Structure 1
Amino acid sequence: MSNPRNRTQSMEFRQQEVGYVMERWRAGDSCSLVGVGSVGKSNLLQHLSDESVQSFFMKDVAGGKPFKAIIIDPSMLGPLPSTASVDSEAIRCWAGYELMMHRLFLAFYPFNNLTAEDARIFYDTYQALQDGTNPLYAYMGLRYFELGLEIFMKQGTQVVFMFDEFEEMLKQLPIKFFLTLRGLRDANKRSISYLTFTRSPLPQLIKKFDIDVLEIEPFTELFNDNIVYVGPYNENDARNMVMDLVKRNERKFEPYAIDFLLWATGRYAGLLRSSFRALDTLGALDANTVMTRSEQLLYELVSKRAVRSECETIWKSLSDEERKMVQEFSGNRPNIDPNKFEIQQIFALLQQKQLLKVQGTRVIIDPPIFQAYVKSIASSES
């Protein structure tokens, strides 16, 4: 079921990332997307769920193969019991199945692709799974979810569950839940796959949340070979976004003002949006001002609440070790030992996240407006 409220992007939007993901989907593989805050995660997930985009990139879908990519938002999980509760694990697992079953229901409703009998069976199964007050149903949640999936599997439908803010699911749901997802995938190898979107790589999150690595490995190994680091928009996507903002807000800016905006924000979606709205507060942006006061303009932008909030989103998505390294590189004399393996790992991860770049003998923080934000933090702490 398509959502007319979602703004559609051009087929070229995030073409590199989308092309790779859909190539893996064609092979029935799962993918792990990693991107810091402000990269435009929601737009990418909505684009991946667009049926016209799927048909454009996947010939078998264009040829009529039934396919559905379903976004799972953990903020839609219902209230969960305390982990100290006797039935906590069963009920928490049920909450995960209930959310996935509900999104499955919404994705295929009104079930035009099902026979009347199959539609009735699916609806009855869906209704049964909804009753989490019955302890037996909580334990049987997996069976109802499996039965609901089977109705679409027998038609040859391929389903991808895309987990937005997957960190929250790792924190809220028991390991057993993820192991059952692995079991469902193994029972339907080319018909079910998963996509996770997180702000840090899965191994880093598992360590952070003190999850047993070996216990959850059967699930996480699904993603080991297909990790995509999602960075800022490319030049074309960023300009398209700015032109859309100009049109919707009935504004007009000279080309050099837009060039400054793209440079300052590093083409990060969230920073583009908030900085665009703050451009008017910078005064007259003539060519001379942009050329001679660009550094000062960065700090003026960072002082704006919305822009600073977006910078904080990036900052909070980093680990303590990553923040420490970024702060070191914001100074004139970073105290970094490049020979330490741990330092090399953190540096490589920040490069993959496109927040650190090497220019000759220098390491710079990108985007420029984030560098100004980090320097402002250092100034306030000194």
Structure 2
Amino acid sequence: MVSPKAVQNYPETYRSREVNILSKWLLSGISGTVISLPGAGRNNLLNFLCYRPDVLQVHYLEAEATRIVVVPVDLSNLPENSPVTMYRAILRAFYWQRHRLPSHLQDHVTSIYAENRGTRDPFIAQTGLYELLLGFQKEALQVTLVFNRFEQFAAEANGRMFTTLRSLRDTFKEILAYIVGMHREIIYLPNREALGELYPLLDNNVCWISAMNDSDSRWVIEQALYRVAERPSPGELNHILALSGGLPVLLRFITSWWVKQSPKPPLESWTEQLLSTYLFDHRLKELWQGLTQEEKSALLALGKTKGRRGETAVSPPEERILQQLAVKGVCHKSSQGWQINSLLWAAYIHLQKEEKQIGKLTQHEKSDLILQASEPVKLAPQEATLLSFLLKHPYERHTYETLILMVWANDHDPISQKQSLHQLIRAIRLKIEPNPSEPLYLITWRDQDDAGYQLFPEGQPL
């Protein structure tokens, strides 16, 4: 496979903060997860990591570069969900990257791939992959497999495949690590329990892709103007930067929009015109839906209250959430308090101020009163009993039977109460969900063996 041509044109300083973090992972053999909001550039960053070894060698890995091997593996569209198919996909990934290896290892990889590319026997495929990695181990090379779009793989994979990945890493833990790319935290995977021992391996180290710095942002704008003779004025260029807040998807779309405008509209009208365009509304909505309900609540609170010096005043819980959002590249703290990086997204968020029922669910320690964004939720006794139990055991998958016994402890036939449980869940959703038909707090789960509900107190992103 030929490396993506576009990545070869990226500046050597591209995403230097994130590449520096990931380079340290490579050097230390650390596994972890790379996460970004929609349109923040996760795919481009991981492609840069995988296909620009020249940059890694000169600026990050230096003398250690010769012992580091980075292999992108696509598990998001396997023809069959089985360990043997996964083994073969990993072998194929090594084969496609063989040109970067010393000649004797190229021959090693080519030979093993040729022997195993058509096998349907999982033991033979596993043996082939083990023999391949033993060759790298003999050379004292550190191998990192990069699985982008991991949430797509996780949605289809079964427990055996996750166990296989963890077992593979444990067998070669001295030389093998994984980096996975996703658009939200691993805790929000629908079947995260199936990850088993793979879960802590990937969750212990997380790199959020933040907003681009000024240099990278200007480069993205130049790329969007590649075939255009006209260039924005300094004022227009600065306005594109301010409106985008360093988010790649907004940088590209705002620049493309500017190219199509004739004559060029005054700067003060840009925000209104952009927000009235379906394409921008769609992209901004994607970003908004990529946040938890607790994060949305904190952003909506910005500007509502002011401190003594006119700065934006926020509560301690909101401060914690805004610090978390700063890591994600959404906002920053200045002398005037917290501000959203993108002026365009800030304007969009302001339009969402009428959005109802968002904020984290909590329970008062002394009164046991259940709150949502610090406001009491009016609940019937059985509703309060059920929601209180779920708040004490968040994120866990509770079966129907467990929840029925919690609410109707004296009932000797839990199965007969299943419909009553569904009605109770529906009543709670009507009181806590922005859209009860698309729940974000109280989620239904199902697998091959059972079903039930789980609670995300902060309201998971879509």
Aligned counterpart, 2:147: 163
Q: Distance in 1 between matches of 2:351 and 2:227?
A: 32
CA offsets 1:206-263 (integer angstroms, 9 cap, x no match): 4xx1432xx7453232345532221111011111221232234333111111110000
1:6 aligns with 2:6: yes
Q: Distance in 2 between matches of 1:272 and 1:253?
A: 13
1:205 aligns with 2:188: yes
8 Å contact kept, 1:36–1:353: yes
In structure 2, relative to structure 1, the CA distance for the partners of 1:32 and 1:279 (3 Å cut) is same
Aligned counterpart, 2:287: 314
1:1-382 matched pairs, under 5 angstroms: 3=3, 5-8=5-8, 9-49=10-50, 50-56=52-58, 57-62=60-65, 65-78=66-79, 80=80, 91-108=81-98, 113-114=103-104, 118-119=108-109, 121-129=111-119, 131=120, 137-138=121-122, 141-202=125-186, 204-206=187-189, 209-212=190-193, 216=195, 218-281=197-260, 284-285=263-264, 289-290=266-267, 293=268, 296-326=269-299, 328-329=300-301, 332=304, 338=315, 346-359=321-334, 363-377=338-352
8 Å contact kept, 2:221–2:251: yes
CA offsets 1:112-143 (integer angstroms, 9 cap, x no match): 623797356413343244x4xxxxx2465434
Q: Distance in 1 between matches of 2:26 and 2:250?
A: 30
For structure 1, the residue ranges without an aligned partner over 5 or more in a row are 81-90, 132-136
Amino acid at match of 1:100: I
Equivalent position SS for 1:278: helix
In structure 2, relative to structure 1, the CA distance for the partners of 1:332 and 1:172 (3 Å cut) is same
Identity of aligned residues (%): 18
In structure 2, relative to structure 1, the CA distance for the partners of 1:155 and 1:43 (3 Å cut) is same
Say which one has the larger Rg. Answer: 2
Q: Distance in 2 between matches of 1:160 and 1:237?
A: 26
Q: Could you tell which deviates more after superposition, 229-238 or 365-374?
A: 365-374
Q: Distance in 2 between matches of 1:314 and 1:281?
A: 24
**RMSD of Structure 2 on Structure 1 (CA):** 3.3
In structure 2, relative to structure 1, the CA distance for the partners of 1:248 and 1:76 (3 Å cut) is farther
Equivalent position SS for 1:68: strand
8 Å contact kept, 1:122–1:151: no
Q: CA deviation at 1:337?
A: 9.7
In structure 2, relative to structure 1, the CA distance for the partners of 1:318 and 1:92 (3 Å cut) is farther
Q: CA deviation at 1:94?
A: 3.2
In structure 2, relative to structure 1, the CA distance for the partners of 1:119 and 1:104 (3 Å cut) is closer
Q: CA deviation at 1:172?
A: 1.7
Q: CA deviation at 1:30?
A: 1.6
In structure 2, relative to structure 1, the CA distance for the partners of 1:271 and 1:116 (3 Å cut) is closer
Q: Distance in 2 between matches of 1:92 and 1:337?
A: 50
In structure 2, relative to structure 1, the CA distance for the partners of 1:323 and 1:235 (3 Å cut) is same
Equivalent position SS for 2:143: strand
Q: CA deviation at 1:150?
A: 2.9
Q: Distance in 2 between matches of 1:99 and 1:372?
A: 45
In structure 2, relative to structure 1, the CA distance for the partners of 1:110 and 1:161 (3 Å cut) is closer
Structure 1 outlier segments of 4+, above 6 Å: none
Q: Distance in 2 between matches of 1:24 and 1:117?
A: 28
Q: CA deviation at 1:77?
A: 2.2
Q: CA deviation at 1:43?
A: 1.8
Amino acid at match of 2:188: L
Amino acid at match of 1:43: N
Equivalent position SS for 1:114: helix
Higher relative helix content? 1
8 Å contact kept, 2:162–2:196: no
Q: TM-score, normalised by structure 1?
A: 0.77
8 Å contact kept, 2:154–2:191: no
Q: CA deviation at 1:70?
A: 2.0
In structure 2, relative to structure 1, the CA distance for the partners of 1:101 and 1:266 (3 Å cut) is same
8 Å contact kept, 1:22–1:58: yes
Q: Which has the higher contact order (CA 8 A, sep 6+)?
A: 1
Amino acid at match of 1:188: F
Q: Distance in 2 between matches of 1:117 and 1:52?
A: 23
